[in-house]
Amino acid sequence: MLFRLYFLIVLLIPAFLEVNCGKQFRLGRAKGGNLGAPQGVAHEEVPPAKWFKQKLDHSAPTDLRTWKQRYFINDTFYDNKSGPVFLMVGGEGPADPRWMVKGTWIDYARKFRAMCIMLEHRYYGESHPTDDVSTKNLQYLSSYQALADVANFISSMNIEYGFDPSRIKWVAFGGSYPGSLAAWLRVKYPHLVFASVSSSGPLLAKLDFKEYYEVVANAIQEKTTSSNCLKKVRAGHKQVVALMNANPRVLDKEFRTCKPLSTASKNDIKNFYNGIADDFAELVQYNEDNRMSLNTKYKNITINTVCDMLINSNDTALKALAKFNSIMLDKSNQTCMDYSYDSMIREMRNISWTSTEGGRQWIYQTCTEFGFYQTSSGEVDLFGDQFGIDFFVQQCVDIFGKKFNKDFINKGIKWTNSEYGAMEITAPKVVYVHGSVDPWHALGMTKTRANDAPAIFVKGSAHCADMYPGRDSDIAELVRARESVEILLSQWLQLP
């Protein structure tokens, strides 16, 4: 049952990479999805894409409409007599086949002789259920439909491969939003999914995720030996606010704005402040996570290197802050800082598949299911209370329509927490892994509440860091976390 592997030549690599244009980090999500590619894959062989005939609407049994969902299989390690099936759940970005040959789950697969399958999430990557991503068509985009996709896929694969459901154990893996899905699969489909490894998955849907920037501030404090870094950031933001009122032309020059701030609307200004804060959010969320860098020149941008630059610079706090902003612009190949609210809304209103990388789809899910809006209201002293919850609710309305207001969003959030259990989730054989540096841990399971659903909280680790290939420089806590997951899998896979 071995698949044929195809060489991934250099010319094909860019097909898997995101085009660096526009803002690269928004709403706590990296462009192309929060789970990056694993390091160490350049010229290696990856499996070809396969396609599964999936139902469009699982809530309507008599609706026979279907579409093609992309997936990948690696069965080179598989022992068809006793091996389990490992399933990596897709999320808010394209399924990257490089995960089929690298990553911690591949190390586990070698040990447990598992078949590895990765299923792409509907509406992301190449999995297109509808002709476009118009608001009408996005009605079929939800965590409910995505979980049902997985259930239908597993049932079909059991038939296709002749798996005996009473003997073959499916183990779900996921990082970030897919980490949530991996846990929720054990809630909704425990008869199909035997166990799950949930990495950096938020379980609590929440409108005002003010804790996000609180963790950003705490992480900067945790990873540096001096409080001077936060002091300089704080001082820089205060100078920005003062200049915004007195002489915004200075900010245009220092922050390389695409248009003069003197002409900016109120929402433009909020977007500008949000953009500065997002620089630090991106820095912290992915700090030393061992993901594949799109630009090796900037792969060593960490909390420590940035704070060293801020503290040791003879520049004013404002100039030091602007210098960091320039680094982040250059990192994503942006010539200027585009803070235009209208431009952002126009981009998110585009309904064609060719122009979207998943940003519109993810915002839709936040507006209908999760919230997750990283407001400034929890860290006023550091970033200023410049982008509150109304700023994000307005985006839902402006992108999708008037009905997507605060009441509408809150109803979706209430449904999500009721459907899956939020922090009161009851699902055995799930291990939750979170890093203290990752802001998303504030909405996740970081303390063990049941012996058969342990939580592993890794001090000093970032978003999904446990999923990436290990390296000699990994902190001891991260190494132990990977080992602990392996021990749990070993124990669980021996259970009937």
Catalytic residue among 279, 398, 463, 474: 463
The whole-angstrom separation of Cα 390 and Cα 375 is: 9
Q: Residues 127, 142, 176, 199: which is the catalytic one?
A: 176
- Tell me how far apart the alpha carbons of residues 437 and 407 are, in angstroms, rounded to a whole number: 32
Q: Do residues 170 and 154 make contact, with C-beta atoms less than 8 angstroms apart?
A: yes
CA distances from 25 to 254, 409, 455 (A): 21, 22, 28
Active-site residue (options: 278, 279, 398, 438) = 438
Nearest to 430, CA basis, from 411, 415, 448: 448
The answer to whether 376 is a known catalytic residue is no
Measure CA 201 to chain center: 9
Task: For residue 33, give the nearest of 101, 99, 109 by alpha carbon.
Answer: 99
On whether the CB atoms of residues 277 and 383 are closer than 8 A, the answer is yes
176 assigned to active site: yes
CB atoms within 10 A of CB 245: 7
Q: How far apart are CA 156 and CA 300, in angstroms?
A: 44
The answer to whether residue 463 is catalytic is yes
Using the Cα atoms of residue 187, residue 193, residue 195 and residue 198 in order, give the sign of their dihedral. negative
Cβ contact 456:477 at 8 Å: no
Q: Which candidate, 146, 150, 44, 51, places its Cα nearest to that of 97?
A: 44
Q: Which of the residues are catalytic? A: 176, 438, 463
